[in-house]
Structure 1
Amino acid sequence: MPGLVQRLFPDCCWKMPATTPPTLYLTFDDGPIPEETPFVVEQLAQYNAKGTFFCVGDNLRRHPEVAGLVVAQGHRLANHTFHHLSGWSTSHAHYLQDVAQCQELLDALQPEARPLLRPPYGRITRPLARELHRTHQIIMWDMLTCDYDQQFAPEECLATAIRLSRPGSIVVFHDSLKASRNLRYVLPRYLAHFAELGYGFASL
């Protein structure tokens, strides 16, 4: 993510502090869905890895059992709006209502968790961010795998993800049908690569 964008939104979380041993913060956007989310949970379990799942509220509504699986395995659920809205083309009132609708479902599943939000596409305005900071911590990223890009070969996707990841990186994957080919190739190999280097994987 360009440094200028990060400077425009300094109150958003772009990366976590480096730790010893080094840690990566894997996040998964757009689920939960039965076709892909259980695969992600299974892969994480092999490395005792914890992740953060930024959920579309309508998917939570339709697949509560999949969300329950994520929670049962000790992962973190977070807000990705109810209808996957762009903050650039949605009125503030509508966007805030959509976030609240998703948060209501999340609170029923993880009532003790502090609210986290990732704006879909990373698209948000500064006035909207100020409003959202009142209720949520906004989580961005410093490493986007682009697994959703079907023109991106799986091998290239993996190589790029490995090359750009750093200790403390917030890494974006997608548990979605669109990302399935790259996700299923990249995630197991990414986990294996960094586990061999002594990295841990934590939720936010």
Structure 2
Amino acid sequence: MHLHRMPGLVQRLFPDCLWTMPATLPPTLYLTFDDGPIPEETPFVLEQLARYGAQATFFCVGDNVRKHPEVARQVLAAGHRLGNHTYHHISGWSHSRAAYVADVARCQEVLQPLQPEARPLLRPPYGRITRALARQLRHTHQIIMWDVLTCDYDPDFSPEQCLATAIRLTRPGSVVVFHDSLKASRNLRYVLPRYLAHFAALGYGFEKL
């Protein structure tokens, strides 16, 4: 089962999280890329975005930023925004609140020198966060979820299926999740260029959060 669109009930249970953006004219999409930055995939994403003058948000694993700071700097140099995806890509469902908050803080320590922000963005890995965590972290971070999940990381989901489903579910103002990761590489490299071309041809713009 591929849960591409988060049910409205879940969204209402987490009012502290941002799920989608208001529809505008011309229509705008908010592409996000989780799990990087890595030298194998992130530069490909940057090349595709540049073709369409597209801006995006990259939710970074802190340990990847530590290992590949030059790739994180490439993202910023291209005009995109970095967000926090915890330091070790951990689930808010399987760690104590204290351990999770500490992992978020450790990720922010490596992001802050690159992109100083008073209230940075945070995306919980897997979308797994408790209501108590969300209430606590909203004071230091803006918590970003999504309304379209491409499932590009799923090896059982063909590139053609991935593209068709992502296009079908996208609406003006959608926050769309891709992954600049090795696991997602096959689908990402097929879907992203075609997704951008499709919506650019329809007059959509692409902005960072």
Check the 8 A contact 2:45/2:180 in 1, yes or no.
yes
The structural deviation recorded for 1:113 is: 6.5
Specify which of 141, 153, 161 is matched with residue 158 of structure 2.
Answer: 153
TM-superposed CA distance for 1:114, in Å, is: 3.6
- 2:38 is aligned to 33
User: Is residue 2:107 matched to residue 1:102?
Assistant: yes
Following superposition, the deviation at residue 25 of structure 1 comes to 0.1
**Unpaired segments ≥5 residues, structure 1:** none
Per-residue Cα deviation, 1:65-106 (whole angstroms, up to 9, x for no partner): 000000000000000000001000001111111000101111
Q: Distance in 2 between matches of 1:56 and 1:202?
A: 21
Q: For 1:160 and 1:110, how far apart are their aligned partners in 2?
A: 34
In the alignment, which of 167, 175, 187 is matched to residue 172 of structure 2?
A: 167
Segments ≥4 residues shifted beyond 2 Å = none
Distance 2:151 2:109 in 1: 29
1:118 aligns with 2:116: no
- Displacement of 1:112: 4.0
Cα distance in 2 for partners of 1:130, 1:11 equals 7
Alignment of 1:189-200 (within 5 A): 189-200=194-205
Q: Does the alignment pair 1:84 with 2:85?
A: no
Number of matched pairs: 204
Aligned to 1:11: 16
In the alignment, which residue of structure 2 is the partner of 1:129?
134
Give 3-state SS (helix, strand or coil) of 2:203's partner: coil
Separation of aligned partners in 2, 1:197 and 1:129: 36
How far apart are residue 180 of structure 1 and its match?
0.1
1:143 counterpart residue number: 148
User: What TM-score do you get using the length of structure 2 for normalisation?
Assistant: 0.96
Structure 1 residues 107-116 or 72-81, which shifts more?
107-116
Residue matched to 2:3: none
Secondary structure in 2 aligned to 1:102? helix
CA distance in 1 between counterparts of 2:21 and 2:122 reads: 16
Specify every segment of 5 or more residues in structure 2 that has no aligned partner in the other structure, as ranges.
Answer: 1-5
Q: How well do the aligned residues superpose, as a CA RMSD in angstroms?
A: 0.7
Which of 33, 55, 58 is the aligned partner of 2:60? 55
What is the aligned partner in structure 2 of residue 74 from structure 1?
79
TM-score (norm 1): 0.99
Identity %: 80
**Which amino acid is the alignment partner of residue 190 of structure 2?**
Y
Aligned-partner residue type, residue 116 of structure 2:
P
